[in-house]
Amino acid sequence: MKKRIIISITLIIAVIFFLIFNNKEVEEKDNISIFFELIEHEKNISFSDSQNSIIDWKVVDEDNNVVVIKKEGKSVQINKVEETDSQKIDDFFEENGFELDIYNLADGPEGSIKGYRKDKMYCVITRDCELGSDTIFKKINVNIACAI
């Protein structure tokens, strides 16, 4: 009888812990979707539907080596936009207290990567530029991936 009670209590505790941690993960990912909607609303731009994604976030370890940490989150895209609309995204991050992370930056002639961080939110903005015949950017494809 005692054994049955102990097993029942253990199972109840396990179910409660599972529900608490499972709901936290869903809540965090929903917060990312809400964050993307906020960018859309404030900057009057439209993204694709959000998708689950993994971002590679670079950090420096205790030996001063740059290492990559994988973080689960969500991403959205906006394709073939003008440079002014692309800049609105950076403006949003900067206006809302996000800081550029020097280990998560890259720039080249046909694209760039910018990593922004605020508190426990990490976002990586990837841009692929389509060059025109006169080597001026015609359109930019933007991907934003965020994780908490």
Helix axes 2-43, 83-95, angle to 10 degrees: 130
Q: What is the pLDDT of residue 110?
A: 85
Residues with pLDDT less than 70, the chain: 1-29, 132-137
Query: What residues form DSSP beta bridges with 141?
Result: 128
Q: What is the pLDDT of residue 25?
A: 46
Q: What is the pLDDT of residue 108?
A: 87
Query: What's the pLDDT tens digit per position in 38-62?
Result: 999 999 999 999 999 999 999 999 9
Q: What is the pLDDT of residue 139?
A: 87
- DSSP per residue over 28-76, as a string? HHHHHHHHHHHHHHHHT--PPPPEEEEEEEEEE-TTS-EEEEEEEEEEE
Q: What is the pLDDT of residue 13?
A: 61
Q: What is the pLDDT of residue 57?
A: 96
3-state secondary structure of 109: coil
